[in-house]
Amino acid sequence: MALRELSSLEKYLGLKKPNKYTTRGDKKIPVLQSSNGTQLVGLLTIACHLVKEAKRPELLGDSTERRALAQQWLEYRVTRLDGYSKEDVKNILQDLNLHLQDKVYLTGNQFTVADALMYYGVHPLIVDLSIQEKEQYVNVTRWFDHIQHYPGVRHHLPLVVVLRNTIYTGRHH
């Protein structure tokens, strides 16, 4: 899965020459093989490297603070969303839902590479949600729908239908 994400990220970044990748271990951790024989290991590390290679530093965050916030959600992605259990799903969606309550993107009002990777990571969770659950996690769903329509991000993933109108009314949380 990680390799498809990296390939989508390369396309989004407009990198003309695709990099060479392998994976390592049972968890299929991505490894980038560069032309001079060196390797970079790990989804987060490689994603940040690609952004720098594409000379799009603003996608890592345009200030020290935003860069830290982007890193935090990238780390959340690789620690919480890779190999999650059924019980985790609820916790992850609750965390994100509360965090995104007053935000357009994960770091605030600017799109970063953390939004792209989190979108790739939560896609399998969102696909499995019922309409009712999508309404329960309304902020996640709104953010998700925004990112899947963000130009050039979706690539390898199917579009998930998100209803704009609430059909279950009178729910209290």
Partner 1 sequence: MKLSVSEGNPHCIKPLAALQVTGVQVSVHYVNHDERVVPFLNRPVVPALLLPSGQHLFSPNVICRYLFEVKGQESSDLCNQWLEWEATSLQPALQLALHMAVLQGKGSEVSKVLQGHLNVLEQSLSKDNMPFLTGESVSAADVVLWASLYPVLSETSLALGERGSLKTWFDLVAAMHGCQSTAQKVLQGKGLQGMKSYMQRQPVPQSSQCRDAPPCNSN
Provide the binding-site residues for partner 1, judged by CB under 8 A: 24-27, 29, 31, 37-45, 48-49, 52, 64-65, 67-69, 71-72, 75-76, 78-79, 82-83, 91, 94-95, 98-99, 101, 108
Whole-number Å distance between alpha carbons of 29 and 84: 15
DSSP letters spanning 60-122: G-SSHHHHHHHHHHHHHHHHHSSS--HHHHHHHHHHHHHHGGG-SBTTBSS--HHHHHHHHHH
CB 162, min distance to partner 1, A:
22
Shortest reach from residue 101's CB to partner 1, in Å: 8
CB 109, min distance to partner 1, A: 11
Q: Give the residue with the Cβ less far from partner 1, 26 or 128.
A: 26
Number of Cβ within 10 Å of residue 28's Cβ equals 13
Nearer to partner 1, 78 or 147 (CB): 78
Give min distance, CB of 97 to partner 1, in A: 8
Q: Among residues 94 and 132, whose Cβ is nearest to partner 1? A: 94
CA–CA distances in Å: residue 2 to residues 16, 57, 64, 98, 137: 19, 22, 27, 27, 25
Min dist CB 165 to partner 1, Å, is 26
Q: Tell me the two tokens of residue 17.
A: 């020459």
37 vs 170, beta carbon nearer partner 1: 37
40 CB-contact burial (10 Å; exposed 0-12 / middle 13-18 / buried 19+):
middle
Closer of 21 and 155 to partner 1 (Cβ): 21
Q: Please name the residues in contact with 51: beta carbons below 8 A apart, sequence gap of 6 or more.
A: 13, 57, 59, 60, 113
